[in-house]
Amino acid sequence: MDPVKVIRGMRDIYPDQTKWWHRLERQLAELLKCYGYGEIRTPILEHTELFKRSIGEETDIIEKEMYSFDDRDGSSLSLRPEGTAAVIRSYIENSQWQKEPLSRYYYLGQMFRHERPQKGRYRQFSQVGVELIGAAQPAADVELIDVMVQSMQAIGLSKTSLELNSLGCAECRPVYRQKLKDTLEAQRQNLCDDCKRRMVKNPLRVLDCKVESCRAIAGKAPKIIENLCSDCSQHFTHVRKGIETLGIAYNINHRMVRGLDYYTRTTFEVLAEGLGAQNAVAAGGRYDDLVKSLGGPEIPAVGFAAGLDRILLNLISSLAEPAQADGVFVVTRGEEGWLAGLKLMQELRKIGIVVQSDVRSGSLKAQMKRADKSGSRFVALLGEDEIRQESVTIKDMRAAADSTEKQFSLAKKDVVQELLVRLNHQSTGELSH
């Protein structure tokens, strides 16, 4: 029988990689805590309607990328393709605005999009998302952009650029949309087939088409930030002032229109070198109309999400190997040795020491080989002699072969305390970042 394989576009991540994920997740959570953001956890499954109403029916995500299926009662459910919609659904459902004037949330988790898999693009991927709900002021946009840029720096991403744009509001965007449509109409024959379709339903998406002929047309099209109403224009000027004061460099990118329909005003993306076509590592923007359009009151918000798979692809070559496992490997012989080993391991783990053993037992030689491979600092040996003498033989795997410290005996009653002291004194310690 053929073995079952992993689903295309999805992947398994093993301990030699998850160690980097843990580090990244920890660094991001620590930084977000410093900015006053608390973690929110929402379900991975939501009603399909939530995503249709928020992301927009005419987006690629809704048209062709959702993992949707009918529940037993016939209602359509979808695996979340992003996190913002669910956070806002929950915010409305729990009337959070009545409990706190400003809500600062972050989330970390798996998202699902049925896209064409390629380097940096998966069908299941991880995001850390950050949402600030309840403020229309440019200061909120500046805070979010600052958090995003600081997060990328804290985790060690270099060679990034920040792209900025404003998509206007319900007042000025329709006017711009029409102007753009008129321009595109005149060039219709030179647009790719996708853009001929986009031009009618979602003309802004023509601006970020990658086809060369469309790029040329987009380059000459009217620019949205030159067509903003005065409120949007002022808002954008203040956002720029704020981030300039923080010393954050950016490019105005007229073509960055985002693939989700809920955005208003400021949008932003961090691009990283070395990732090919999938070079956006973090992206977001303001979405002042989403809370209302999902049935809540008129409450503005701004947020972003960073793609952790892409970030790690970019970082992996520069990551330093974490310090070797600095624990104890317990080697035993005979039934009594095994039972005494069990007790010793339990005591050591209780005080936080990393302990491994070869549960297959086997010969002393085989267990020692395994101990050597494990990278453990000490081997604690329990055989017939040790049981008789109520002692444990300790081998220091990193001491020189001729050193008196290479192998010594400890009284059973002292072994836990003695190993703790030695590990604390001599350990290379946890990575600082």
Cα–Cα distance between 431 and 433 in angstroms, integer?
Answer: 5
Contact region for ligand HAM (CB under 6 A) — 118-126, 133-141, 155-163, 228-236? 118-126
Site string for ligand HAM, 235-264 (x = CB under 6 A): ------------------------xx----
Rule CB under 6 A: choose which of 105, 122, 176, 236 binds ligand HAM: 122
| Angle, CA 83 vertex, CA 78 and CA 86 arms, to 5° | 65
Sheet with 68-70, edge to edge strand ranges:
45-47, 76-79, 68-70
Of residues 116 and 360, the one with the C-beta less far from ligand HAM: 116
DSSP 3-state of 147 = helix
158-217 positions binding ligand HAM, by CB under 6 A:
none
Cα–Cα distance between 111 and 59 in angstroms, integer?
Answer: 17
For the chain, the helix, strand and coil percentages under 3-state DSSP, each to the nearest 5: 45, 20, 35
Q: Does 53 bind ligand HAM (CB under 6 A)?
A: no
Sheet with 103-112, edge to edge strand ranges:
38-39, 103-112, 124-133, 301-307, 280-286, 264-272, 160-166, 251-252
Of residues 300 and 303, the one with the C-beta less far from ligand HAM: 303
Please state whether 110 falls in left (phi above 0), alpha (psi between -120 and 50) or beta. beta
156: CB partners within 8 A, 6+ apart: 315, 318, 319, 433
Rule CB under 6 A: choose which of 56, 134, 168, 303 binds ligand HAM: 303
270-299 positions binding ligand HAM, by CB under 6 A:
280-285, 287
Q: Does 82 bind ligand HAM (CB under 6 A)?
A: yes
Site string for ligand HAM, 124-153 (x = CB under 6 A): -x-x-x-x----------------------
The DSSP output letter for 39 is: E
Q: Does 115 bind ligand HAM (CB under 6 A)?
A: yes
Of residues 121 and 265, the one with the C-beta less far from ligand HAM: 121
Return the residue nearest ligand HAM (CB atom): 307
The β-bridge partners of 411 are 391
Rule CB under 6 A: choose which of 23, 54, 66, 83 binds ligand HAM: 83
Q: Which residues bind ligand HAM (CB under 6 A)?
A: 82-84, 113, 115, 120-122, 125, 127, 129, 131, 259-260, 280-285, 287, 303-305, 307, 309-310
